[in-house]
Structure 1
């Protein structure tokens, strides 16, 4: 289950503005916060999703947030922050730009540079913390995208917004989904801000992630083949194989990897102790127990039974 952390001014002792200032410094990084509404309501929910940290924030009253040079000197975290406005409006001063943002719009901020955010009526937004080196695997020069608003009507904006809206639910649905969700966010961001010359590469990466997700949903089917996965995605089998080749892999290799990852998860989980090793393999799409054992040993260096025994402290022959 996806772990979450929560902060709320409801029930806060003392001044709510002071409480919230401390809360966002703890949850996000060092910021100064001010509001003239001492009785304001504010909530923050935070999720670790693969390489990124996603926070949903709701503040009922007008407010101002400042990332100062002094705060940067004390707390210079190498991250970008992608902000998606769901309700209300923002004005942002950052890197020499004055930006007005409306609901549905997004902007990337550089945590290493000062900024000021104002909301005249309160707002709901999503803030995603993106490690710099990780993001550079998707966008060669992410600094070029900083303070460039992603407006309604921008190509791929809707895809990026949907990825942010759905990430906590999808990441919580099954083991391994968190990294896929983080990659989908980065891929959609690259498409929304990237130059035209990088569109083909990023589009290929997104199709590859969709293929992985479909295979993760269907891996237990013993008769699963590339044609069925391609049909589920609305692409041809030939195009599916072409995309996988560009990622330096094959359909068979990806399917075995996904099935083995799921099998290793089940072997670790005490809830599946009643299942034999062969039953675990069967549920993960392996028709033949000896084939499952060989593939597992090739990938993990031990048989499935020895893997389970080492983790659970039982003789390898117990299952």
Structure 2
């Protein structure tokens, strides 16, 4: 767009195609880019642009009935967020939750370079009993609690992950939700059944050959909620995605070292533990086991 029209076009395009909001900035120097893609239940957005203020008004909210929240973090500069009577100065790498059903205000004095994860409220309610209690409360990147883990996990998300996710989308979403619950101190009132983490490991071992295995499927086998499963695994300090990968690679290592399976190719062994892509399997072996599959076969 011609420079003089970019700010108006930006507001109109985002309001019509994304979320109704208002924005202000220097109309003579304005530029902006928004890239978006779905990844399982989560929408992954990357926003870059010039200095600007952004706000959502009751009128804009009335224009669309989106039942979503956003987890946002700016990479390169400090910014401010306000919602529900709370205001926070956000440092680079911090993340924050906002609810699109209520007014909010952002101020990016140096421009956004922002990861924005769109979270359906029905999905978020599985992990947080009261999402509105946590809006405009920063998850600090330099803290020592679960908020830092949530910020670190959300920071590398990009729309291009949708075409080649590092893990199945449902696993990534489950990990995100579990970290949300931990960072916000969300715990259901009912106690976690004793031994649930160990029982979960047994189910994982039985089903690890299934490429798309999710926490929801494992919870169904165990007769518990997904939230209870994640809470039990968090207590044991073994998040679901991490535990599943550890079990898969432990079995793969045993199979690679077995003389009886010497005739079975490394890629086939990867498939037998639910890792269908041979190059991805090789990278995981090197990263987590320290050796490529070929070297693991000769290891004694």
Shorter-chain TM-score bucket reads 0.5 to 0.7
Partners of 2:139 and 2:150 within 8 A in 1: no
Q: What's 1:41 paired with? A: 31
- SS of residue paired to 1:223: helix
Q: Give the one of 113, 130, 135 matched to 1:124.
A: 113
| Count of residue pairs brought into register by the alignment | 221
Q: What's 1:190 paired with? A: 181
For 1:224 and 1:95, the matched residues in 2 are separated by 56
Q: What's 2:242 paired with? A: 210
Q: Is 1:97 aligned with 2:86? A: yes
Structure scoring higher RCO (CA < 8 A, sep ≥ 6) equals: 2
Aligned alpha-carbon RMSD (Å): 3.4
Partners of 1:219 and 1:258 within 8 A in 2: no
After TM superposition, the structure 1 = structure 2 runs for residues 236-275 of structure 1, keeping only pairs within 5 Å, are: 258=274
- TM-score norm. by structure 1 comes to 0.59
Give a deviation string over 1:200-223, Cα, whole Å, max 9, x none: 854516622222345677887892
Give a deviation string over 1:166-189, Cα, whole Å, max 9, x none: 344665446961222222222222
* Residues 37 and 154 of structure 1, relative CA distance in 2, 3 Å threshold: farther
How far is 1:195 from its partner?
4.7
For 2:252 and 2:163, the matched residues in 1 are separated by 19
- TM-score norm. by structure 2 comes to 0.62
Partners of 2:44 and 2:115 within 8 A in 1: yes
Give a deviation string over 1:103-156, Cα, whole Å, max 9, x none: 121111111111111122223111111011111111222222122122231512
Structure 1 runs not aligned, ≥5 long: 1-10, 226-254, 264-319
Q: What's 2:61 paired with? A: 72
Partners of 1:171 and 1:177 within 8 A in 2: no
Q: Is 1:181 aligned with 2:213? A: no
For 1:73 and 1:144, the matched residues in 2 are separated by 22
Q: What's 1:296 paired with? A: none
Q: Is 1:51 aligned with 2:83? A: no
Q: What's 1:139 paired with? A: 128
Q: What's 1:302 paired with? A: none
Q: Is 1:160 aligned with 2:150? A: yes
Partners of 1:78 and 1:132 within 8 A in 2: yes
